[in-house]
Amino acid sequence: MTEASWGDDTRNPLIDWRMSASLEDVPRGDDDLAEVTSLGGAVRAWIELDPVHRAAATLTPERPVWIDGVSNSSFEGSGIAVLAERVPPADAQGH
């Protein structure tokens, strides 16, 4: 009998929430400037945006992130929402 393995980490390595990431196309005062922070910080900042800015935002991590066996080098709208479902609380990272 062969043993099945669910949640294979080789297809979905752990997300490095501390890597640098850029959150773009979101308001910063009177301008729409990119914010460079940790991936976790960028996702949490996206969560705080209004729906219009959430839909327009682009998040680019310093390295690709694997979600459901697919490597992603950039995220927009619903793609960022997928990360938001997985992001740990800020205090869990020591921030």
Is 79 in contact with 71 (CB distance < 8 Å)?
no
What range defines the domain where residue 83 resides?
A: 20-90
62, exposed or middle or buried, with CB in 10 Å at 0-12, 13-18, 19+? middle
**What are the tens digits of pLDDT across the range 47-83?**
999 999 899 999 999 999 999 899 999 999 999 999 9
Question: Which residues touch 68 (CB under 8 Å, ≥6 apart)?
Answer: 12
Residue 30 lies in a domain: yes
Domain count, the chain: 1
User: Whole-structure pTM over 0.85, yes or no?
Assistant: no
Residue 3 lies in a domain: no
Distance CA(65)–CA(13), nearest Å, equals 8
Distance CA(47)–CA(64), nearest Å, equals 20
Q: Give yes or no for residue 36 having a pLDDT over 60.
A: yes
Place of tokens 């890597």: 19
